[in-house]
Amino acid sequence: MPHAHTVKLGTKLSLSKLDPARDDGLTKEEAKEKTNHLAKEIEELQELMYAANSTALLCVFQGADTSGKDGAINKVLEYVNVQSCRVASFKIPTAEELAHDFLWRIHKQTPALGGVTVFNRSHYEDVLVVRVHSLAPKHVWEKRYEQINEFEQALAESGTVILKFFLHISKKEQEQRLLAREKDPIKAWKLSVNDWKERERWGDYTAAYEDALSKCSTPWAPWHVVPSDHKWFRDLCVAESIAHALRPFREQWASRLETIGSKARAELAAYRKSGGS
Ligand code: AMP
Ligand code: MG
């Protein structure tokens, strides 16, 4: 039974029924040991994926301020080869971005075959912050759920494995993290008055997330709700989901590498036979 909750398409999600402080009875040490084990597996799988050059991995991270998007992403970067991995962060759209359809800036950042891209926020902001703050009329953002599903389906059919993580923290935990951030000279730069203002809209964001996750958790791009009050449990959930998603490809990638290797060997043999070194 996986630790993260995978949302079922079309079923009404109720985030208040999912405990953000869940730890499944594991201690911090036990969870870290499991995560390290999975990290080794992911490292190996990612190397195969890179060499086979037939599949890409896209990990999307969403969650409230302080939910741990940066921390979780840093952790994922530890598992993969930096040469084939990129992070794309999506902030308030620029004038040029706003002059295009909402997926324009997103599509440009999707991973090429063999690569890994991690999204820090994403196209989901266009049905979250945009909905909560009425930055676009309802008839515009309402259509986006379907547009997102079709966009993600096109990516998946072109070889991209898509995993989406909602980092689920409690309102109380967020308050503690915001207050701790204020006291920490190293982390205070991350503070923004906006974090406290957005917090006042907690209920609206929860409703927007529940809709986005229910409407857009497809078989080709599932949403995972990650209990994130404990950072070590969060990291375990994410690592487990990535390993689980890549594992079924192992044979396919290995046999592709075998084919590519045989071809290279045959070419080399022919070259030598013709008098080359
Ligand atoms: P941060 O992730 O803390 O650096 O903040 C980035 C800010 O950009 C957040 O407040 C997001 O809600 C906001 N943002 C990201 N994408 C969009 C979007 N499509 N429309 C409006 N605001 C956005
Ligand atoms: Mg912020």
Dump pLDDT digits (tens) for 133-176.
Answer: 999 999 999 999 999 999 999 999 999 999 999 999 999 999 99
C-alpha 142 to ligand 1 mean position (Å): 19
Residue 200, token pair as written in the block: 């006042």
For atom 7 of ligand 1, the residue with the nearest CA is 91
Q: Which atom of ligand 1 is nearest to the CA of 102?
A: 19
With contact defined as beta carbons under 8 Å apart, do 107 and 151 qualify? yes
Lowest mean pLDDT among 4-13, 56-65, 153-162, 236-245: 4-13
Indicate the pTM of the whole model: 0.96
pLDDT in tens, 248-257: 999 999 999 9
pLDDT band at 187 (very low <50, low <70, confident <90, very high): confident
d(Cα 174, Cα 187) in Å, to the nearest integer? 15
> Which ligand gives the minimal distance to the CA of 91?
1
Token pair for 145: 């759920």
Would you place residue 31 in the very low, low, confident or very high pLDDT band (cuts 50, 70, 90)?
very high
Distance set, CA 48 to CA 2, 140, 145, 252 (Å)? 24, 41, 33, 10
Query: pLDDT at position 191, please?
Result: 87
| DSSP H or E run through 63 | strand 56-63
Residue 37's pLDDT is 97
Domain ranges of the chain: 5-271
Q: pLDDT, tens digit, for every residue of 195-240?
A: 999 999 999 999 999 999 999 999 999 999 999 999 999 999 999 9
Residue 276 scores a pLDDT above 80: no
Task: Determine contact, residues 15/206, Cβ cutoff 8 Å.
Answer: yes
| CATH fold for the domain made of 5-271 | Rossmann fold (3.40.50)
The end-to-end CA distance of the chain, in Å, is 55
- The tokens 């409690």 sit on which residue? 170
Q: By CB neighbour count within 10 A (0-12 exposed, 13-18 middle, 19+ buried), where does 7 fall?
A: buried
pLDDT value for 196: 95
Name the residue with the closest Cα to ligand 1, atom 4.
91
Both tokens of 207, joined, read 């409703």
Whole-number Å distance between alpha carbons of 234 and 238:
6
Whether the pLDDT of residue 128 is over 90: the answer is: yes
From 156, 166, 139, 151, select the one nearest 102 (Cα to Cα): 151
Candidate of 121, 148, 193 to mutate for ligand 1, largest count of ligand atoms within 8 Å of Cβ: 121
pLDDT at 1 exceeding the cut of 80: no
State in Å: Cα 126 to ligand 1 middle. Answer: 9
What spacing in Å lies between the alpha carbon of 58 and ligand 1's midpoint?
19
| CB-defined site of ligand 1, < 6 Å | 65, 90-93, 121, 125-126, 129-130, 135
pLDDT above 90 for 277: no
pLDDT band at 28 (very low <50, low <70, confident <90, very high): very high
Residue 228 DSSP code: -
Residue with tokens 């997330």: 209
- Give the C-alpha separation, 227 to 166, whole Å: 9
pLDDT at 2 > cutoff 90 = no
